[in-house]
Amino acid sequence: MHELSIVMSIIEIANGEATKANAVKIDEIELEMGLLSGIEMSAFDFAWQEAVKSTVLENAERIIIRPGGKAVCLECNNSFDLDSLYSPCPVCKSHFINIIQGKELRVKSVTVE
């Protein structure tokens, strides 16, 4: 259940931004969470519902962007989409790959009034 820690970190970042902008609440928060980032969305949603109560994010609209996995094969230089950390290169079947997208875990923006 590391998702709770992730939500707590998001609240911390949101709090900091709200304080700087002299806002008491956040209307919208945009998150980027890659499909290979290791976040289980049902656990994340559950943690979110409980954790944001009485915080600046309590009524915030949540926009979640989920970039898919992309890798470059280190053997044949082919770029390909992957849905797990152990997907082989579809061309040469190698596991010598470099993952270039899908592990993002970022707060992109917040909207305040």
Query: Using CB under 8 A as the criterion, which residues of the chain lie in contact with another protein when the complex forms?
Result: 1-2, 5-6, 9-13, 15-17, 19-21, 23, 27-28, 31, 38, 84-86, 88, 95-97, 105-113
- Residue 26 CB, nearest approach to another protein (Å): 9
In degrees, to the nearest 5, what angle opens at C-alpha 87 toward C-alphas 68 and 37?
A: 40
Q: Which is nearer to another protein, 63 or 79 (CB)?
A: 63
- Check the CA dihedral 91-89-76-95 and report its sign: negative
Q: Are 70 and 34 in contact (CB under 8 A)?
A: no
- Residue 87 CB, nearest approach to another protein (Å): 9
